[in-house]
Structure 1
Amino acid sequence: YAAWFAIFHQRYSTNTAPSWERAQPFRFVAHNGEINTIRGNVAWMRSREGRLGAEDLAPEDLLAPIIDESGSDSAMFDEALELLVRGGRELDHAAAMLVPAAWEHVDGIAPEVRDFFRYHSALVEPWDGPAGLVFSDGLRVAASLDRNGLRPLRIQICEDGLVACSSEAGAVSTRGHGRITRDRLGPGQMLLLSPTEGGLLGDTEIKKRLARRRPYGDWVDASEIPAATGSPVTEAPSDVVARQVAAGYSKEEFTVVIRPMGSDGAEPTSSMGDDTAQPPLSGTSRGVFSYLKQRFAQVTNPPIDHLRERHVMSTSTYVGPRAALLHEKSDAARLRRYPSFILFPDAVEGLIDDGAVLLDATFDVLEGPDGLEPALRALAVAARSAVNSGAEIVVVSDRGASEERAAIPSALSAGAVHHALLDAGLRGQVGIVVETDDARETHHFACLLTNGADAVCPRLALESLCDLAVNGRLGGDAGPVEAQRRFARAVEDGVLKVMSKMGISTLDSYKGAQIIEAIGLGPDVIDLCFPGVSSPLGGLSLVELGADALIRHTSAAALKPKLVNSGFIKFKKGGEYHAFEPPVVDALHEHVGIEERSAGSENAGDDEMAAAHQLRAAVRGVPGAYDRFARLVNERPAAEPRDLLVFAAAAPVPLDEVEDASSIARRFSSGAMSHGALSAEAHETMARALNLIGGAANSGEGGEAPERFADDRNCAIKQVASGRFGATPAYIAGATELQIKMAQGSKPGEGGQLPGKKVSVEIARLRHTVPGVALISPPPHHDIYSIEDLAQLIFDLKQANPSAKVSVKLVASEGVGTIAAGVVKGLADVVHVSGGDGGTGASPLASIKNAGLPWEIGLAEVREALTGNDLRGRARVRVDGGFKTGRDVVVAALLGADEFSFGTAILIAEGCIMVRTCHRNTCPVGITTQDEKLRAKFTGTPEMVAEYLMSVADEARTILASLGLRSIDEAIGRVDLLEPRVMDDARAASLNVASLLTPPVGERAFTGSLPLQSPRSRLGDELFVAAVPALEAGEEITLDYKISTADRTVGARLGCWAASRWSPSRPPGGVGANFTGAAGQSFGAFLSDGIGLNLIGEANDYVAKGMGGGRVTIRPPENDAGNPVLAGNTVLYGATGGQLFIAGRAGERFAVRNSGAVAVVEGTGDHACEYMTGGAVVILGPTGRNLGAGMSGGEAYVYDPAGELERNLNDQLVAAYEPTEGQLTSLQRVVTRHLEA
């Protein structure tokens, strides 16, 4: 028996533990990717049960449950696809419904194809996320890519009819099958093979065939209900201040958040992280939104880029009842489709006039805090009753608030209604609009939408902006109407950013997907309002949240209610507790002697510094100041989970039996703070201090001056982040540890940012960029869209610098333990877990405050996952997030950490005074500025930082002795030496920190276990051994090799070694290596001068990434049929020099973040030259969409006979023009080299 097709799938589990029932392919699908919206997709499918329109398939009650929720995301997608196919749709039709191409904001789509997607968007929300899909119903076999093209699918079409579609070119042998057409699928594209229906169909033919099945455009035009978001308010009511107080507004919030959004149309940026207490420990009546945290993608799937790739995203929203999924009728699109989720009050009134049912989201004040829960349950009953009575839209509103009735927090009311309707099978029959006084920040809207709202009317926020503008208190040039429109734009942009953190493109996919986690909410709150949302420590009950609502309500009822300054963002005496409040900062300054140093010491020359380092001398401050500092921190009001833990009673050991402080300090590292975020003086002082104590300084993501590599200013840990700024071959070669930054505690799911004012000539030189131009790193690493990709980058770095350890930086969040297990399987040497309170030089305030969990939660989960999977001994675990004292170190060790990283505290020890202006380039003490005059005010020394860190180690040593432990090694994972602290405060006592103390099974700490597999490239090592003698001897040699997909990262070891020896000069010799075959990933990565790699065949993803010099050429093999795709995605990523010539086409994101390489290619996919800052790229063919997005330097030449450049160009930062004579001469030279290559 011979099958005419076969589907094969292989990868390792990422966000679930491996098991046989998750093995692929499933009934229909083999899926390489992640469904980021799976929780929402499943909930919406559940809501359709009983009304699928499945009359021709089976009785509806026999079909439930449609989705087996115990399966993987891929298995659940397979079940949804099967339902549509069994229900009557063809295979390609069903797939296009569930994983649609981007269509709303993309030019060049045929009108009938756009109508097809528009019609079906009213039927089903996208199953969104990176997806390379191969699927079959037994009669046809097809493949498709997600709308962002976040998985590779290479195609080989042979002369004899064999078709191979795979994630890697060369995975299937096509030898002996005649001439071969080499192609690829692009974002949102499909391929279908059907022996009975015309053979092989391409994307255009498939989409047009689907679009012509029905008159979808006519159907939508006839049935879609016209909907407008309404008009801004023109008059503010007299009770606006009282309502602001009741809704929890503050003076600070108006100054820092709301006014800038109304005047500038953008979210505010801040710095230095969040050092306030966790919500239930704050001692204030914070709103419910602060207990909810945004989730984000890390490792298993990428965040997406809402700034540069907005054309694939959408904020439009449908409001109303959805049609039966399996029906295909003319009225299926009878919904209101709004271009935005923000509705103005008159639009809500219009809905009510048209029959929407108003639901009262208030509770009786006289019933006290106990009245909140019954009010929520009554609200849920009212919602079910309204839908059963025929309501198509319900408006959940707190407009009924009065002296007698308090507003229910909208996060609770929206959640209770949404989930009650889901549970009753009614959610698909109604739209939910939330009208509320308490939503005014981006995070608030995101929480409401992801927990079930279809649209939101922020009534009070709009009225407040009107009031500010009318009374001249807004600032800027916006009047009342414009201020509200700018506010709406800021919120829309902010919600897009929140969606993009999780890799979600469309609002319809985000709605109801519950892309949140909770800190400090108890089981009754979760069960009623946020079912399925993680709240790892438990927390406050509905009664306590009701009490908070009543506190605000009572304050609003005062004769003259006033807004207060809560000090939530910046410290204010009498306001919110801040971990770095002035007494703490002052005590640390006293300890390191900031006021006591002699005037001349701050200007000590290099020779004096070297002598001081050699003597290991440290400036002493006020005696006993460290003890006072440690008491202030260790005895502070409970603010973090570690403050709710105490050391268990133990028999002490003599202090002289405990390892030395110097040995403990070798486990310390600095947080990743870049030269750019910090001044050169502050950055080098930090490096010298860590080298002085034997620790490890972290360079951050801004590169490092090469002259520092060989002295005591060298950062042992060199970071490789998504922007790849300064990540040259010499930089990679100069590291003791290479850290892959997957996420940052202050803004996980986003890229780093450096304001243009801080991009000085010096910084631009190090980062290979343009002075004065702001730098924003891409949200994802464009070579890490999956766990396999991360393993590939780890492999790349281990080839480039075989002696360096590789660490992966994660941020604490639900599921971080499973991710950490995958990271260790990927051969990382260190798993770095950051808390969500991490410091920052510049981050959106909404991200600083609302994303990530405390490191204690993340560390506990990582410990359990690694020990449970027998992986703990293979990697070190490092942790950071607000570390200040020896107590923090010991608690972290007992919870399972091997190493400890300090960030803000080091800056305080250098002289930081916490004015939080890092993002403005105005730091008054010269630490976080590039302004020469301000930098001259820097007075920190390495000895000050060293003294502080050694004092921390001394304190840790004392604590170890008291616990009967003789070393940190003995402490690691000893959770039995921690126990919950008995708390008098009921709110603090509601947090179940005992859940952090599950005893580890097996190895507790790093033991140096052998890697799971060899981290070497056989062919790369063979090339290295053969080429080194020639380079050293000044000889020119030519080498010849066969190459296959198993040969990855060929050239990286040789390139980095040569750079470390001779950069920036050329080596005395030269090597030309010729290869034939299909090269594995990262061919020519980190190449440097004097080395040329020539390939006859084809290559996969990441060709020449990180290249700093040398030359790579790729030509098709003799059996090629013409116009071939010869390279994969993300070619030249982060390159800083060298040349690349490809006699064919490449995939998506060609030359992304190119900073200096010269390249010629004969066609590219989407997003070519994205974030490019230097070099020159010549494209002698089609480019795909979004060319030049975020490009701030360099040149791109495009041959455009079809006249498509104008449509494909992203002109936010670049413009197209005819080349000058001089440019044409340069172009001719480059193209000539391409022809000769």
Structure 2
Amino acid sequence: ALGFARRGAGGVVVITDRAMSRERLPIPTPLAVGAVHTALTNAGRRGRIDVAAEMSDVLDVHGAAMALATGATAVHPWLAIELAAEIAGSRGAEELDPSETVGRLITAFEAGFRKTLARIGISAVASYVGAALFEAVELAPDVVARCFPAAPSWPGTVTLEVIARRQLLRLETARTLAEAGSGPREARLPDPGLARYRADGERHLYAPPVVRVLQRRVSDEASDERDAEAAVGMLAPDPEPAVVRDQLRLRRPRGSRPVRLAEVEPVEAIARRFVASAMSVGALSPEAHRAVTIGMQRAGGSANTGEGGEDPAWYAPGPDGERLDARIKQVASGRFGVTTAYLARADQLEIKIAQGSKPGEGGQLPGRKATAYIAALRRAQPGQSLISPPPHHDIYSIEDLAQLIADLRAVAPRARVGVKLVASRGVGTIAAGVAKAGADYIHLAGHAGGTGASPLSSIKHAGVPWELGLAETHQVLLRNGLRHRVAIRTDGGLRSGRDVVVAALLGAEEFGFGTALLVAIGCDMARQCHLDTCPTGVATQREDLRAKFTGSPDQVERLVRSIAAEVRLVLAELGARSVGEVIGEARRYLRPVAGSSLSLDAVVGSPRWPAGEARRASPAAAAAVVSREPASALEHRVVAEVAEFGPGSAGVFAITTADRSFGAELSGALARGEIRGPIRLGLGGAAGQSLGAFLADGIELRLTGQANDYVGKGMSGGVLVVRPEPDVPEPHRQAVAGNTCLYGATGGRLHLVGRAGMRFAVRNSGAEAVVEGIGAHGCEYMTGGIVVVLGPVGPNFGAGMTGGRAYLYAPEGLGADVFHAGAVTTATLAEAVRERSDGALLVADLVRLLDAHRAAGSALSSPPTGCRSATCGWSSRPSPGASIRAPLRNLLATSSQPTGGGSTASL
């Protein structure tokens, strides 16, 4: 390639493996493309030469993405195209010709790659070419330096010679099959077991023998101690390592001896460190979700809701007073099911930044799983795929994260607030920022998992093992003097007491279990979670399949206690008496096995954590290390006064930008029954961020002045009014609130007598609002509620909008780029009234909200109320959905939505 580049001014270098043979082994695409791209770049010639990859191993979206990321300008997956052409006319494709099957393949490649770009945050393919946005694991340093020096890496011992031997083995296997004789191709090509278990294929951690062992441990005659002893041998490291911890050997420190089992802390103390990993109701069936939640919490641990919310009926205690809802409430970017009542009940609140099985993506629930019940819990539409946005729209910096932590701490002062991250190179730096932002714990997820709602490509090709990210996180926090301020939790394929002890040695204080718990309640690893066809009723919403569910909380409790008993056995053998004693002690108790494919000296080389016994004994003790001041001293005082004197109205309180999250503490106290409503407060001045965050029904806040970002974030009830001072000229042209107002709101009403910034009402799913102008990205991914805009509207309005209504009135006109193409369609209000069966309701709701806005102090709300023609500037914008809204009328706060259409935006 270099010789070609030096001979001419430019051109195309084609890298192909069509001429492969035993003497000419095919080089894997990433290595071949990466080497050429690096050589041309180092020679200063890459800008003049295009690199095209014509390779047989580009068989899916990941393969194509890797070719581009390592430097290819174009990709020709010739073998995939030939295979697609052969499928034409075969079973399942009888009506398709080769051009159609190939066309569908290319379309799938393009769609999948666009998703990859979106996950990274890139808009143009050119920005992805050669960007090395991947991590190299196990490759020898000289290979990384030669092929992709810009990529972050976890160095190992896999050299080009090792890769060549693997390629030769594949070639010989193919040759043997080709010489085996005639017969259908399907009969001759073996399944390598990449996606499902095959006895002669790739090793799976949850192979049938392991599933049987785990399920035997939860049988009625199971014994904590007996089954733990049996499992120690069954779940020991395999001679052929499959995970990083298989390459680590436990050892007793020199001079120490085993201790008697009676000297080790009890099962109950160990189980308190366990959590059920976040698996939403929706991804799991309600029955499976409740079995996991109740069983884990009976054992002494804590369960996590996942990002789908909870059924409020679960908040009532069981017959014997047992808590039936999860102690850990998750807050994800889609804010599904996040209400004030949900937050106020939490013992722990977890901000999900990323998920181990699909880092860079939000949660994904297939439309077939979004039944009327699940959609009601999430304030969405039945049958609609529910995909959380990759970013939290109120988090664009560590300071923004600190604000959300403050918001959550205000609404639930006694809850621990944590942040969930995913293992990757550099996660330690992010964790340091999270600790400085005030989190009480960091949940570090590994790449394993994917229970119920993750696409296969993400499960297989995103993230790195928790062992690597955990060690980096613990060590970076130690070096920065932050380790004592924050607890560390990890999950991602944990299934044994040995796994728990290894995680503790690498720095974890708490431990999450996901798939293992589902196996305990009957999961048979059919790997059909995303298809809604789970044969055991664990990960499906189909009633016929849910009827087959036989799991129980007792099975989860038995497994948790059995794993805790196994932890005791391992600790006793190491000569340790508690989990706390070994946290972060990898240097003393762990050693890489000989011949490891990863360089693990740095992983086990952490200095000792100089924490006291009390801090080691309780992860929750981290919350007391740093004093936490109320987000608003003013509101803290008001809550005390309301608790003492009861509900009512108050005069005008002077508020400043130092008063953040005002309304959240009142709302949380009201939801818990600590104070009574109604409460009406007047405010004057400039409010800090998150005014009215998570506002509850029964509270009314009226501010004269202006507010910062996040006004009405997550509000689930009440009334919030912001209007400028009386002497402000042309108040309808003034900004009275910042960005990301009404984000994730589920109820209540907001009046802004003036304009707001960008991302107004993103993920609104039930609140009503009137505002006099907004910036870009308004009503993005809105699934319910009503928004009225009496002024300018920024571009990209209504992107992903699937529910609710928006009325837009812009006398100065709307730009051509206002509406997101394909998201919604337009009609004038007069047309909507004439053509829709609920036309009268459209007008009645608009008049009601404009009357309330006039009462809030606006001068803009009069002209449109009498408008009945297509010339007045109002129009309606419905998008597909039809009858799916009817079942939600009595379930959601958006009862004013029409039954005959999907989301509507009226102009």
TM-score by length of 1: 0.64
- Hey, what does 2:891 align to over in structure 1? none
Say which of 992, 1009, 1017 aligns to 2:599: 992
- Hey, what does 2:876 align to over in structure 1? none
- Hey, what does 1:719 align to over in structure 2? 330
Report the CA distance between 1:1060 and its aligned residue: 2.5
Structure 1: tracts of 5 or more residues without a match? 1-381, 598-618
Say which of 1162, 1174, 1197 aligns to 2:807: 1197
Say which of 783, 792, 795 aligns to 1:1182: 792
Report the CA distance between 1:1127 and its aligned residue: 1.7
Matching of residues 804-819 of structure 1 within 5 Å = 804-819=415-430
SS in 2 for 1:1061: coil
Report the CA distance between 1:979 and its aligned residue: 3.2
- Hey, what does 2:313 align to over in structure 1? 707
Matched, 1:514 2:129: no
SS in 2 for 1:1208: coil
Is the Cα–Cα contact under 8 Å of residues 692 and 946 in structure 1 kept in the other structure? yes
Q: 1:1068 and 1:1049 mapped to 2: Cα distance?
A: 20
Is the Cα–Cα contact under 8 Å of residues 1023 and 1051 in structure 1 kept in the other structure? no
Report the CA distance between 1:1186 and its aligned residue: 2.2
Report the CA distance between 1:384 and its aligned residue: 4.6
- Hey, what does 1:319 align to over in structure 2? none
- Hey, what does 1:602 align to over in structure 2? none
Matched, 1:1022 2:616: no
Is the Cα–Cα contact under 8 Å of residues 587 and 607 in structure 2 kept in the other structure? no
- Hey, what does 1:1116 align to over in structure 2? 724
Q: 1:738 and 1:631 mapped to 2: Cα distance?
A: 37
- Hey, what does 2:555 align to over in structure 1? 944
**Amino acid of the structure 2 residue aligned with 1:1025:** A
**Amino acid of the structure 2 residue aligned with 1:1081:** Q
Report the CA distance between 1:1036 and its aligned residue: 2.3
Instruction: Render the CA deviation track for 1:172-229: whole Å, top value 9, x for unaligned.
Output: xxxxxxxxxxxxxxxxxxxxxxxxxxxxxxxxxxxxxxxxxxxxxxxxxxxxxxxxxx
Say which of 232, 238, 251 aligns to 1:648: 251
Q: 1:404 and 1:663 mapped to 2: Cα distance?
A: 61
- Hey, what does 2:690 align to over in structure 1? 1082
Q: 1:1138 and 1:809 mapped to 2: Cα distance?
A: 29
SS in 1 for 2:786: strand
Q: 1:435 to 1:779 in 2, by over 3 A?
A: same
Instruction: Render the CA deviation track for 1:1171-1220: whole Å, top value 9, x for unaligned.
Output: 21111111112222222222222111112445537752235453333342
Q: 1:485 and 1:1125 mapped to 2: Cα distance?
A: 50
Matching of residues 1108-1187 of structure 1 within 5 Å = 1108-1117=716-725, 1118-1120=727-729, 1122=731, 1123-1187=733-797
Matched, 1:848 2:459: yes
Report the CA distance between 1:1001 and its aligned residue: 5.0
Q: 1:632 and 1:1164 mapped to 2: Cα distance?
A: 61
Q: 1:635 and 1:642 mapped to 2: Cα distance?
A: 8
Matched, 1:1046 2:689: no
- Hey, what does 2:241 align to over in structure 1? 638
Is the Cα–Cα contact under 8 Å of residues 709 and 715 in structure 1 kept in the other structure? no
Q: 1:646 to 1:926 in 2, by over 3 A?
A: same
Matched, 1:933 2:544: yes
Report the CA distance between 1:1104 and its aligned residue: 0.6
- 1001-1010 vs 1036-1045, which moves further: 1001-1010
- Hey, what does 2:2 align to over in structure 1? 383
Matched, 1:666 2:292: no
Is the Cα–Cα contact under 8 Å of residues 519 and 539 in structure 1 kept in the other structure? no
- 857-866 vs 637-646, which moves further: 637-646
Q: 1:1114 and 1:623 mapped to 2: Cα distance?
A: 62
Matched, 1:820 2:435: no
Q: 2:750 and 2:94 mapped to 1: Cα distance?
A: 49
Instruction: Render the CA deviation track for 1:471-497: whole Å, top value 9, x for unaligned.
Output: 525637543223222222222222222
Is the Cα–Cα contact under 8 Å of residues 70 and 132 in structure 2 kept in the other structure? yes
SS in 2 for 1:994: coil
Report the CA distance between 1:385 and its aligned residue: 4.2
Say which of 458, 472, 475 aligns to 1:861: 472
Instruction: Render the CA deviation track for 1:818-845: whole Å, top value 9, x for unaligned.
Output: 1111111111001110101123312221
SS in 1 for 2:209: helix
- Hey, what does 1:25 align to over in structure 2? none
Q: 1:523 to 1:1107 in 2, by over 3 A?
A: same
Matching of residues 468-617 of structure 1 within 5 Å = 468-469=87-88, 471-473=89-91, 475=93, 477-558=95-176, 559-560=178-179, 562-593=188-219
Structure 2: tracts of 5 or more residues without a match? 181-187, 318-322, 834-839, 857-907
Matched, 1:682 2:284: no
Q: 1:868 and 1:1001 mapped to 2: Cα distance?
A: 11
Is the Cα–Cα contact under 8 Å of residues 963 and 977 in structure 1 kept in the other structure? no
- Hey, what does 1:439 align to over in structure 2? 58
Q: 1:476 to 1:1105 in 2, by over 3 A?
A: farther
TM-score by length of 2: 0.87
- 395-404 vs 839-848, which moves further: 395-404
Is the Cα–Cα contact under 8 Å of residues 634 and 659 in structure 2 kept in the other structure? yes
- Hey, what does 1:98 align to over in structure 2? none
Is the Cα–Cα contact under 8 Å of residues 571 and 578 in structure 2 kept in the other structure? yes
Instruction: Render the CA deviation track for 1:30-89: whole Å, top value 9, x for unaligned.
Output: xxxxxxxxxxxxxxxxxxxxxxxxxxxxxxxxxxxxxxxxxxxxxxxxxxxxxxxxxxxx
Matched, 1:1037 2:649: yes
Is the Cα–Cα contact under 8 Å of residues 384 and 426 in structure 1 kept in the other structure? no
Report the CA distance between 1:905 and its aligned residue: 0.3
Say which of 369, 377, 392 aligns to 1:766: 377
Q: 1:839 and 1:1116 mapped to 2: Cα distance?
A: 49
- Hey, what does 1:1235 align to over in structure 2? 854
Q: 2:37 and 2:114 mapped to 1: Cα distance?
A: 22
SS in 2 for 1:1114: strand
Q: 1:1205 and 1:1158 mapped to 2: Cα distance?
A: 24
- Hey, what does 2:81 align to over in structure 1? 462
Report the CA distance between 1:503 and its aligned residue: 1.9
Instruction: Render the CA deviation track for 1:149-181: whole Å, top value 9, x for unaligned.
Output: xxxxxxxxxxxxxxxxxxxxxxxxxxxxxxxxx
**Amino acid of the structure 1 residue aligned with 2:793:** T
Matching of residues 792-803 of structure 1 within 5 Å = 792-803=403-414
Q: 1:679 and 1:1041 mapped to 2: Cα distance?
A: 48
**Amino acid of the structure 1 residue aligned with 2:700:** G
**Amino acid of the structure 2 residue aligned with 1:1049:** S
Report the CA distance between 1:709 and its aligned residue: 2.6
Is the Cα–Cα contact under 8 Å of residues 979 and 994 in structure 1 kept in the other structure? no
Q: 1:733 and 1:845 mapped to 2: Cα distance?
A: 35
RMSD between superposed Cα atoms in Å: 2.1
Q: 2:470 and 2:394 mapped to 1: Cα distance?
A: 26
Q: 2:259 and 2:729 mapped to 1: Cα distance?
A: 74
**Amino acid of the structure 2 residue aligned with 1:1100:** N
**Amino acid of the structure 2 residue aligned with 1:504:** I
Q: 1:801 to 1:384 in 2, by over 3 A?
A: farther
Higher RCO (CA < 8 A, seq sep 6+): 1
**Amino acid of the structure 2 residue aligned with 1:1208:** V
Instruction: Render the CA deviation track for 1:675-722: whole Å, top value 9, x for unaligned.
Output: 111122111111111221111011111111223234221211010011
Report the CA distance between 1:1115 and its aligned residue: 1.2
Matched, 1:740 2:347: no
Report the CA distance between 1:1075 and its aligned residue: 2.2
Q: 1:576 and 1:1222 mapped to 2: Cα distance?
A: 60
Is the Cα–Cα contact under 8 Å of residues 141 and 155 in structure 2 kept in the other structure? no
Report the CA distance between 1:764 and its aligned residue: 2.1
Q: 1:465 to 1:1089 in 2, by over 3 A?
A: same
Matched, 1:1058 2:661: no
Instruction: Render the CA deviation track for 1:564-605: whole Å, top value 9, x for unaligned.
Output: 210110111211111100111112212212xxx6xxxxxxxx
Instruction: Render the CA deviation track for 1:111-166: whole Å, top value 9, x for unaligned.
Output: xxxxxxxxxxxxxxxxxxxxxxxxxxxxxxxxxxxxxxxxxxxxxxxxxxxxxxxx
- Residues matched between the structures, number: 820
Say which of 950, 961, 978 aligns to 2:589: 978
